[in-house]
């Protein structure tokens, strides 16, 4: 089996003035995949966190930062190569509604990155952690505008905002998170082509910064707002600073079909589905049953290279997924 990726790993700006360093390159060249983490909020709730709040996981930046650090550490020990910060739901508007000043909000966003970096550095300082591993990365998580509304809007993207308004919303927190020790941005659960365009246009304002972008989808062909996923992936693939394109917080049953839709993409593909349950934005709860399986070897064969999981999944899932991937790759290498 040929494990070399079909896409180029170098990121070079087309204007010729500066080169963008792709932080994923060492992982893809050495181990042929990047293991993402799992349900950050899910693991915090398992440790007793109460996330019944408009700020969701970002609430713990105020109430219990130590829980966030512990969960990051757990995911690293479970096998994650990248941990995403607890800033998905963090926004200046959201913190203001919680009674915080702009300076306090900025401090909390920076704290989200600091906690992940501390967990990473502590993990990497231990000799056992460095055995057969590469130094993990920290991704500054940026959720969609709909996440700040705390009403499930990220699962349909019907905001009635134009691209300029979306850029104006995202820019302030990107400015803060760009000035931290995060290794890259993670644009997550993006429901529409329009919001993806806004984020990628903004990314051009931060020379040298990279990101991955993952969409939330309503079926195996379309993103949540209705645009074809293939069209969204093709558009995103034009960004020099984007290091991966994918999907997240969808049922595992949709992953293979979506990967097929993006098979012509010239970027690494990312997948991190939820457990298979469905989020009810009106009643603020999960419903249905999980699929109970994450066929990561199949996803890898369909082109996925950044692989992890999302809501309602745990560190145990990441451990199993990494083991399954390594078994698949090593088995093929010796066949």
Condensed to tens digits (0 to 9), the pLDDT of residues 85-121 reads 999 999 999 999 999 999 999 999 999 999 999 999 9
Burial of 274 (0-12, 13-18, 19+ CB in 10 A): buried
The C-alpha atoms of residue 115 and residue 68 are separated, in whole angstroms, by 7
The C-alpha atoms of residue 156 and residue 335 are separated, in whole angstroms, by 45
pLDDT at 281 over 80: no
Q: Of 304, 323, 279, 334, which is closest to residue 154 (Cα–Cα)?
A: 279
Q: How many Å separate Cα 259 from the centre of its chain?
A: 16
Return the CATH architecture of domain 11-333.
Alpha-Beta Barrel (3.20)
Q: What percent of the chain has pLDDT over 90?
A: 84
- Asked if residues 116 and 87 have their Cβ atoms less than 8 Å apart, the reply is no
pLDDT at 303 over 60: yes
**Higher confidence at residue 139 or residue 155?**
139
265: region left, alpha or beta (phi > 0 left; psi from -120 to 50 alpha): beta
Domain ranges of the chain: 11-333
Q: What percent of the chain has pLDDT over 70?
A: 91
The C-alpha atoms of residue 89 and residue 110 are separated, in whole angstroms, by 14
Q: How many Å separate Cα 185 from the centre of its chain?
A: 8
Gyration radius of the chain's alpha carbons: 18
The CA distances from residue 137 to 26, 82, 117, 185, 271, in Å, are: 11, 5, 8, 11, 17
């Amino acid at each position: 089996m040929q494990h070399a990726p079909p896409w180029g790993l170098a990121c070079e700006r087309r204007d010729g003035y500066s080169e963008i360093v792709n932080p994923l390159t060492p992982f893809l060249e050495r181990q042929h995949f990047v293991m993402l983490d799992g349900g950050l909020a899910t693991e915090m709730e398992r440790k007793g966190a109460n996330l019944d709040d408009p700020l969701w996981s970002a609430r713990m930046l105020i109430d219990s930062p130590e829980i966030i650090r512990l969960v990051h550490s757990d995911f690293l020990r479970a096998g994650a190569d990248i941990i995403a910060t607890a800033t998905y739901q963090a926004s200046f508007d959201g913190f203001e509604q919680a009674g915080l000043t702009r300076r306090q909000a900025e401090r909390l966003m920076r704290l989200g990155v600091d906690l992940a970096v501390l967990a990473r550095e502590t993990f990497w300082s231990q000799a056992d952690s460095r055995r057969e591993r590469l130094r993990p990365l920290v991704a500054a998580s940026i959720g969609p505008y709909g996440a700040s509304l705390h009403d499930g809007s990220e699962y349909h993207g019907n905001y009635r905002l134009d691209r300029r308004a979306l850029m104006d919303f995202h820019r302030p927190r990107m400015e803060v998170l760009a000035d931290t020790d995060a290794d890259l941005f993670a644009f997550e659960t993006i429901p529409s082509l329009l919001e993806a365009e806004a984020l990628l246009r903004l990314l051009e304002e931060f020379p040298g910064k990279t990101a991955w972008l993952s969409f939330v989808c309503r079926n195996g062909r379309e993103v949540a707002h209705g645009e074809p996923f293939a069209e969204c992936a093709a558009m995103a693939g034009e960004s020099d600073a984007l290091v991966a394109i994918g999907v997240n917080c969808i049922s595992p049953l949709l992953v293979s079909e979506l990967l097929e839709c993006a098979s012509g993409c010239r970027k690494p593909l990312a997948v991190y589905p939820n457990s298979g349950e469905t989020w009810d934005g009106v009643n603020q709860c999960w419903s249905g049953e999980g699929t109970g399986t994450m066929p990561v070897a199949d996803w890898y064969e369909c082109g996925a290279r950044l692989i992890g999981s999302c809501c309602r999944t745990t560190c145990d899932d990441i451990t199993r997924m990494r083991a399954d991937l390594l078994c698949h790759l090593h088995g093929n290498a010796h066949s």
